[in-house]
Structure 1
Amino acid sequence: MKRRLNKKYLVLILAYTGLLLLIPYVLDYRDKSVAGVAVQQQPRCPELENTVALLWGTDFKSNRSDGSEAPEKDVNRTQARIHVYLHATWRTGSSFLGELFNQHPDVFYLYEPMWHIWQALYPGDAGSLQGAVRDMMSALYRCDFSVLKLYAGSQNITTSFIFGWKTNKVICSEPLCDAHRRAEVGLVKEDRCAKCQKRDLRELERECRKYPVMVIKGVRVLDLSTLVPLMKDPDINLQIIQLFRDPRAVHNSRLKSKQALVKESIQVLRSKKQTDKYKRLLVPSNRLNRAENYVSSAMELICDNWLSDMLLVTNAPPWVRRNYLRLRYEDLVLHPMQELQRMFHFTKLSTFPALKTFALNMTHGQGYSSDKPFLISSRDAKEAIFAWRERLSVEQITQVEGYCSEVMRQLGYQKNTVDKTT
């Protein structure tokens, strides 16, 4: 009797085990039967696309397999006021790009407002400051400048404290000041603007609301994903112009300004200190040239962020790509007429002869740069583009090409073929 029971239990156990082993095959066969050839059409990078789907709050399959666009989610793009962010990093030529908008009489232009956050919260790492940066931008685009008071300490904020005020056409022109005429194109003379009466922020807010286009230029947004909420916000509908430049030229310019960029470089590197890679970069191998080491190391992170931005845009919905413009510094200074037309068409601004002449003159000056690297001045565009070939060593060029190789490939920059030893 006992042996018979044991045999019975053994048969049940074997049958149960066989059933468990059979279930996955049954389910797999069912899925294949339903999916058919669709299995071959799975995305090659589902994890990235699922992440993008969560980020944009939309279906990641913005482009169908037959080449047609998938239906878009409801996104309000009809507001009268245009909000633009010039997304750049240090030493890419962003000051010149911003100046083209500063000169336009229909643009309310703000130069580096997020600088105040980084100064007030130093030595906070760049990553932890991104939320504050986005919140400030959200307020500024609504012409609410009281947000600046959060980072001013005890200082009373007026127009003589913010937005690169000595070169800002709005602050230095009527009705806030009579140092310049808003409709006249030309660089603002700092000595004349310095004599302007200080104005309360509320007066500047009233001026802000009069302009059809508002442009903010900044270098303190680490990656494009920070700006996604502002692009999705129906009251802002942010448009982005992202400026790129040959990483070797950026590196050369950063080294030229290394003392001014040490603090920011350390803050950028600290934002990635949790990984072994960036821990290594935060410990300079040559302690005698710490400034150069920090500035050089941050260049590696800059290329990483550029690549992330390009992947984000590539996998974004169609309405995002329509509100994003990629711009290369080299194209801007070599072909200013065409690029100016492209940018202003994107932002729905009109072009006119005086502004075209201004852009042309600014790119056909004498020499590469002045003694003050952050000063906007007329320069020789070709010399500015290729100066890195003469100023960087072969080792420095090879290093940048090594960790920026994919970015260079995507942007169309060819690797160096000149051997300086010959």
Structure 2
Amino acid sequence: MLSTGRGSAPVFKKAIVIVTGKRSGSTFVGDIFNNSPGVFYLYEPLKELMMLFIKRKNPPGSNFNEMAFSIINNTLQCQWNKSSMGLILKQSCVKSRILVACDLCRKNLSVQDRLTKLSEACREQDSVAIKLIRLQDIAYLEPLSYYLDLRIIHLVRDPRPTEKSRMKTRPNQDLIRRKGKTAKDEVDLCQHMQRNLQYWIKPPEWMVGKYLLVRYEDVAMNPVQKAAEIYNFVGLSLNDNVTKWLIKNTQCNSTIEICNKAFGTFRNTSAVINRWRDVMSWSLVKRVQSVCKAPMNLLGYRIVKSENDLRNLSIDTVGPLTKPANQTAT
């Protein structure tokens, strides 16, 4: 742990934030860190905050973005109070390996003991990692860059299979919270992608060296290689635990029931890339392409012009990723 030079706040060797949208492969990519010794990983620390705002219809005197930033900041510094701890543990106890290993999810553990054990478990690790699907703009993270050794992994996925996958988990409660029941999911998805792609094309000064764009499709096709690249970016070494987990979880037989669970990570990941093309309706594909054309072009996701092209798997819908020169994401 290092000194910040700005009071007593600690700086970890790495504070890793995965930013993406719902159903974009973040559970799988997050588990690349979840299965690594030395990394304190928390799964979706903002989900319970979202549910609080939905249930209470925006609590008086509270601002979602401000509260979300506070939770993110506290988590990356292992500095929780009883209230913030309660908001992060419900989801993370289901998904975060280290919380289970440290016996933090026992129901008969007192609140104070749980808070103490949580802080100790976090501080004992070299790095902290979280994944966020409810952060609308990566720029919200800028203040963290001045006192944390921040690394931002911006995960993107072809919006067509993303939208197809989202249909399994509707309604989109966070979208309803932000924009109401009549908001169009595919429009919000594409706006989120476009808004955050500007940081890939022309990163602001504070983000230089702290930002990495990752396509889910590239991870799915070459999981060990891409995981090594991600680990290199954050300044960690890919260990055998992660490599073995990747091999086990990317060679799943698609006939096994667990492979097809909506929120699971057991996948034949290379097969996932094209599965949507067999089952997604042509009308929905056209709708997503019409509103997402700009970010799709930027990211190398090829437009299909007919239903025949959609079903013809010899036509590749994922092209090479090439960063455009001297452009802005407008």
TM-score bracket, shorter-length normalisation? 0.7 to 0.9
2: CA distance, partners of 1:336 / 1:371: 19
2:176 is matched with 266
- Residue 338 of structure 1 pairs with residue 225 of structure 2: yes
Q: Determine if contact 2:12/2:77 at 8 Å carries over to the other structure.
A: no
1:351 is matched with 238
Change (3 A) 1:407 1:344: same
- Any runs of at least 4 consecutive aligned residues in structure 1 with deviations exceeding 6 A, and if so which? 193-197
- 1:162 CA displacement: 3.3
1: CA distance, partners of 2:85 / 2:29: 27
Tell me the SS of whatever aligns to 1:145. Answer: coil
Q: Determine if contact 1:337/1:359 at 8 Å carries over to the other structure.
A: yes
Change (3 A) 1:384 1:335: same
What is the TM-score when the length of structure 1 is the normalising length?
A: 0.63
2: CA distance, partners of 1:391 / 1:265: 25
- Residue 149 of structure 1 pairs with residue 57 of structure 2: no
Structure 1 gaps of 5+ residues are: 1-78, 178-192, 271-281, 284-293
2: CA distance, partners of 1:99 / 1:132: 25
2:96 is matched with 168
Residue 186 of structure 2 is aligned with which of 287, 299, 304?
A: 299
Tell me the SS of whatever aligns to 1:332. Answer: helix
2:201 is matched with 314
- 1:83 CA displacement: 0.4
- Residue 95 of structure 1 pairs with residue 27 of structure 2: yes
Relative contact order (C-alpha < 8 Å, sep 6+): which is higher? Answer: 2
Structure number with larger C-alpha Rg:
1
- Residue 419 of structure 1 pairs with residue 307 of structure 2: yes
1:382 is matched with 270
- 1:359 CA displacement: 0.9
Change (3 A) 1:134 1:401: same
2: CA distance, partners of 1:328 / 1:415: 17
1:137 is matched with 72
CA root-mean-square deviation: 2.8
Q: Determine if contact 1:107/1:212 at 8 Å carries over to the other structure.
A: yes
1: CA distance, partners of 2:185 / 2:178: 7
Tell me the SS of whatever aligns to 2:152. Answer: strand
Residue 85 of structure 1 is aligned with which of 4, 14, 17?
A: 17
Paired residue type of 1:402: S
1: CA distance, partners of 2:150 / 2:94: 27
Residue 297 of structure 2 is aligned with which of 404, 409, 414?
A: 409
Alignment of 1:15-164 (within 5 A): 81-122=13-54, 123-124=57-58, 128-146=63-81, 149=83, 152=86, 161-164=89-92
Say how many residue pairs are matched: 292
Q: Determine if contact 1:84/1:240 at 8 Å carries over to the other structure.
A: yes
- The one-character-per-residue Cα deviations of 1:72-100 (angstroms, maximum 9, x if unpaired) are xxxxxxx5521011101110110111111
2:318 is matched with none
1:373 is matched with 262
What is the TM-score when the length of structure 2 is the normalising length?
A: 0.80
Q: Determine if contact 1:83/1:141 at 8 Å carries over to the other structure.
A: yes
Q: Percent identity?
A: 23
- The one-character-per-residue Cα deviations of 1:174-212 (angstroms, maximum 9, x if unpaired) are xx33xxxxxxxxxxxxxxx97686351112101211111
Alignment of 1:220-299 (within 5 A): 220-231=134-145, 233-234=146-147, 236-258=148-170, 261-270=171-180, 282-283=181-182, 297-299=184-186
